[in-house]
Amino acid sequence: MRLLHTMIRVGDLQKSIDFYTQILDMKLLRKKDYPEGKFTLAFVGYGDEKENSVIELTHNWDTKAYDMGNGFGHLAIEVDDVYRAVDSIKENGGKILREAGPMNAGSTIIAFVEDPDGYQIELLGPK
C-alpha cells in the first residue's frame, strides 16, 4: 500500500495551479475536465505519480469558495532550507503565515504558507 494523493477543493483552479507550480515549484502532472459532472481535476506534485504522492486540486465549476471547517490541519512539504524557501515564496507573491524559525517547544525549523484558498502548508527542513 502507499498514499496516492490528497484532494483539496479549490475555487479558482488556474490561480491554484499557478500557486503550486510557480510558487511551490511543483509540476502540473495532469488535468481533465468532466463536463457532465461540471468539475475539473488537476494533479500537481514534485514527481511522477507512480513513485510520489501528489495533490489533487478539485474545481467544481459552480463553486467559487469553500468553508475551511475545523477538521483539516495542513499539508507538509520538506524543503532543503526553510529560510530560503520562505524568501523565495515571498519574492513570488506567496503569503507567509509563520516566518521560518524553531517550532514551539522544539528545535525543528518550520514555516507556514497559505495557498489561494486558505489551505495552510507547513515547510520543514530535512530530518
> Is 122 an annotated catalytic residue?
yes
Question: Which among 44, 48, 33 has a CA at the least distance from the CA of 77?
Answer: 44
From residue 49, alpha-carbon distances to 21, 29, 52, 57 in Å are 16, 8, 5, 14
What is the number of other CB atoms lying within 10 angstroms of the CB of residue 52?
14
Give the strand pairing for 75-78 and 95-102: unpaired
Question: Which listed residue (51, 91, 114, 122) is catalytic?
Answer: 122
The separation between CA 74 and the C-alpha centre of its own chain, rounded to angstroms, equals 9
- Residues assigned a catalytic role: 122
